[in-house]
Amino acid sequence: MPDISSYNAIAVGNIASINGQDISSGGGAYNPVTDSGTYTETVPTSGLLKMGGVRCFDPPTNTSTDNSENIPKFAYGSQPVVNLSSDKDGRYVRVAESKSDFVQISYGRYGGFGITASGQLWEQGSSASYISGSVVSGFTQVTGVGDSDTGWTKISSSSGGALAINSGKLYHIGQNTYGNAGTGDQTASYGSFSQVGSDSDWVDVERGGFHSMAVKGTNKVLYTTGRNANYRTGLGTASGNTTSWTQVDDTNFTNTNVSYIHINSDGCLFIRENGEAYGFGDDDTNERFGTNTSSDIQIPTQLGKVGGSYQTDWVTGAMASNTTYLINTSGKLYFAGEGNARRGDGSSTDAKDGEYVQIGSYTDWVRVTTDDSGQNNQDYNHVGQRGNRLYYWGSNQYSGILNNTLTSYTTAVDIMGQDLDTGNLWALFPNQGSPTKMMLVARY
Amino acid sequence: MALYSVLISGQEELDSPWQDANVPNMSFGYREIDISECTENEDGTYIATYESMQVESPKTYKYLDPVEGAKEFQLGVGEYGLKPNSQRRG
């Protein structure tokens, strides 16, 4: 048998180190030929993107009561670095490649994207139609698009494509079925990014499954485009599709200084710099907007009444199919709408009297969501960040993010029992577009 | 917003949006997405439906034309997005 401890002048241990693996040296070291000895794998302990979710299959064929497919799998193929030790505790989490420099991450149905601190855009995806390069399992940098390869400031990926901002200019990739790219038509841009118009003052953008919203100009004006059904574009009509970016109806507010936007499948939520919160879109008996009505909200309408008065200290929030969540400057979390398994404080009491109700008494809420991709019409799963930790509540059987049980959790549970890595990077999104098969990606 | 029905030939026509020159920032389409959602007639045609755009008070729209940039137009009280040869149903 040949001695392969050193081959072509390169030690085996050094070859392993190149792949992030260390092989212990000396007596008893792992012998790859005889498959004997001790094998030690060392992976980085921080700065890793971890993905979780039981029903992470391609295609997702299981049902909500089928727990036999609880095998972890990356949504977009195998990853170069895998830490199976994370699975030992029953949490279905695997470690993806290290992306310690990402400051944004956004996953849609077919494409996932990240932006680095230096303004680079990286992508991975399962379909070449929805990313600019070839199908890849790991992240690959997007180059040659826009004014600068380091000019990317925002990416928002959803079910049919993505919208992104480079040097203030807006780009889209993928479907445009409902005019959700705002190009003036409904023409898709498969396989490459196309610029939308020629303006260079785009500030923020969120793409949903059917419509999109954006903030533009030094005055930070709110625009929408896409499918009007259920008044989800805030233009006062539910007919047809808006195919060009259009300023929302400003009857109830001053359309400037919009500081935060959030989109879901049939509605929009936004907050102004003065702390006022507004929403519009589909509503029914769940009274998700907390406006004491079960009718659709046709144009932007103020939200966030507490104790009989509209509060003006909101900083962030989320809209789900049955609820709206708002977080104020004091780090307190409030909600309106259906309470069952959606509050996270153990209570199932609804909030349908026009008032927002505080969830628990914590004062360290940072962010909450039921879907960051804007494509979901369900809200079975909730993830919120308190301090530097992520908490889960909801119908765990539809994600398995917490564990491999079919249990519903009405009280928020610390998902990993450890702090997020610096930068608090995480996103919750539907696997392969299915609203009942959620995945969480977070950097620890 | 009123409901209209239109006779169409199949999926291709169902997928085809139409324009109203008065509303340059929008297109209009049918409520049904798949042809199986439409009522099929004995002669092989289908009945598709759409909802018109009803403006109850004059309204100004500010939008971004992808070529010409920022534009503005007004809609008076009325009904928009109508497709020729459609029948009002409600």
B60-73 pLDDT per residue, tens: 999 999 999 999 99
Query: Counting beta carbons within 10 angstroms of the beta carbon of residue A172, is it exposed (0 to 12), middle (13 to 18) or buried (19 or more)?
Result: buried
Lookup: tokens for A336: 């309106």
- pLDDT given at position A219: 98
Does A240 contact B24 at a Cβ distance shorter than 8 Å?
Answer: no
**DSSP class of residue A13?**
H
- pLDDT given at position A43: 53
- pLDDT given at position A276: 98
Q: Euclidean distance between the first and final Cα of chain B, in Å? A: 9
- pLDDT given at position A28: 58
A11-21 pLDDT per residue, tens: 444 444 444 44
- In A221-266, at which residue ranges do the beta strands (DSSP E only) sit? 221-227, 241-247, 258-264
Percent of chain A with pLDDT over 90: 61
A395-441 pLDDT per residue, tens: 877 777 776 677 889 999 998 888 998 999 999 988 766 667 788 88
The residues spanned by each domain of chain B are 3-88
Does B17 contact A240 at a Cβ distance shorter than 8 Å?
Answer: yes
* Facing residue for B62 by CB, picked from A241, A242, A247: A247
- pLDDT given at position A133: 87
- pLDDT given at position A312: 98
Whether residue A107 contacts residue A429, with contact meaning beta carbons closer than 8 Å, is answered with: yes
Give strand pairing partners of A6: A11
For A216, nearest residue in chain B (alpha carbons): B64
SS3 A104: strand
Average pLDDT, chain A: 83
- pLDDT given at position A150: 98
For A221, nearest residue in chain B (alpha carbons): B62
Compare A405 and A370 and report the one with higher pLDDT: A370
Domains and CATH numbers, chain A: 1-42 (no CATH), 47-443 (2.130.10.30)
Q: Which residues of A touch B4 (CB under 8 A)?
A: none
B47 interfacial to chain A (CB closer than 8 Å) = no
Whether residue A78 contacts residue A425, with contact meaning beta carbons closer than 8 Å, is answered with: no
B50 interfacial to chain A (CB closer than 8 Å) = yes
Q: Which of residues 233-252 of A touch B (CB under 8 A)?
A: 235-247, 249
Percent of chain B with pLDDT over 90: 93
Q: What is the pTM of this model?
A: 0.86
- pLDDT given at position A21: 41
- pLDDT given at position A137: 62
Q: Which residues of A touch B23 (CB under 8 A)?
A: 240
DSSP string for residues in A158-215: -SSEEEEEETTEEEEEE--TTSTT-BSS---EEEEEEE-SS---EEEEEE-SSEEEEE
- With a CB cutoff of 8 Å and minimum separation 6, the contacts of A268 are A211, A213, A224, A232, A233, A234, A261, A262, A279, A280, A281, A319
Task: Please compute the mean of the pLDDT values over residues B40-55 and round it to a whole number.
Answer: 96
- pLDDT given at position A310: 98
CA-wise closest residue to A211 among A160, A254, A256, A165: A160
pLDDT at A250 over 80: yes
* Facing residue for B61 by CB, picked from A197, A198, A246: A246
Task: Please compute the mean of the pLDDT values over residues B44-62 and round it to a whole number.
Answer: 96
Q: Burial code of A173-209, b = ≥16 C-beta within 10 A, e = fewer?
A: bbbbbbbbbbbbebebbbeebbbbbebeebbbbbbbb
DSSP string for residues in A376-436: -S---EEEEEETTEEEEEEEGGGT-SS-SS--EEEEEEESSSSPPPTT--EEEEEGGG-TT
Q: Would you state the torsion angle of the CA atoms of residues A250, A253, A256, A259, taken in this order, to the nearest 10 degrees?
A: -120
A161-212 pLDDT per residue, tens: 999 999 999 999 999 999 999 999 999 999 999 999 999 999 999 999 999 9
Confidence band for A124, pLDDT divided at 50, 70 and 90: confident
Compare A388 and A1 and report the one with higher pLDDT: A388
Whether residue A93 contacts residue A48, with contact meaning beta carbons closer than 8 Å, is answered with: no
Confidence band for A443, pLDDT divided at 50, 70 and 90: confident
pLDDT at B56 over 80: yes
Does B64 contact A199 at a Cβ distance shorter than 8 Å?
Answer: yes
Judge if the upstream peptide bond of residue B84 is cis by omega within 30 degrees of 0: no
* Facing residue for B25 by CB, picked from A238, A239, A243: A243
B44 interfacial to chain A (CB closer than 8 Å) = no
Task: Please compute the mean of the pLDDT values over residues A279-288 and round it to a whole number.
Answer: 96
A217 interfacial to chain B (CB closer than 8 Å) = no
Average pLDDT, chain B: 95
SS3 A16: helix
A58-97 pLDDT per residue, tens: 333 333 333 333 333 333 333 333 433 333 333 334 445 5
- pLDDT given at position A22: 41
Whether residue A419 contacts residue A44, with contact meaning beta carbons closer than 8 Å, is answered with: no
Query: In Å, how far are A7, A253, A382 from B62, measured between CA atoms?
Result: 69, 16, 36
CA atoms within 13 A on the CB side of A88: 4
pLDDT at B10 over 90: yes
Select the residue from B64, B65, B75, B82 to test the A interface by mutation, using most A Cβ atoms within 10 A: B64
Whether residue A90 contacts residue A52, with contact meaning beta carbons closer than 8 Å, is answered with: no
Does A244 contact B64 at a Cβ distance shorter than 8 Å?
Answer: yes
pLDDT at B16 over 50: yes
- pLDDT given at position A52: 66
For A178, nearest residue in chain B (alpha carbons): B27
- pLDDT given at position A97: 56
Whether residue A369 contacts residue A428, with contact meaning beta carbons closer than 8 Å, is answered with: yes
- pLDDT given at position A35: 64
Does A242 contact B26 at a Cβ distance shorter than 8 Å?
Answer: yes
Does B64 contact A238 at a Cβ distance shorter than 8 Å?
Answer: no
B21-39 pLDDT per residue, tens: 999 999 999 999 899 999 9
- pLDDT given at position B86: 93
pLDDT at A41 over 60: no
Does A198 contact B69 at a Cβ distance shorter than 8 Å?
Answer: yes
- With a CB cutoff of 8 Å and minimum separation 6, the contacts of A369 are A318, A382, A383, A384, A428
Confidence band for A23, pLDDT divided at 50, 70 and 90: very low
A45-61 pLDDT per residue, tens: 666 677 666 444 433 33
Question: In which element (H, E) is residue A12 found?
Answer: helix A12-18
Does B17 contact A242 at a Cβ distance shorter than 8 Å?
Answer: no
A208-245 pLDDT per residue, tens: 999 999 999 999 999 999 999 999 999 999 999 999 99
B24 interfacial to chain A (CB closer than 8 Å) = yes
- pLDDT given at position A432: 64
Task: Please compute the mean of the pLDDT values over residues A127-131 and round it to a whole number.
Answer: 86
- pLDDT given at position A341: 87
* Facing residue for A239 by CB, picked from B28, B63, B64: B28
For B26, nearest residue in chain A (alpha carbons): A242
- pLDDT given at position A136: 67
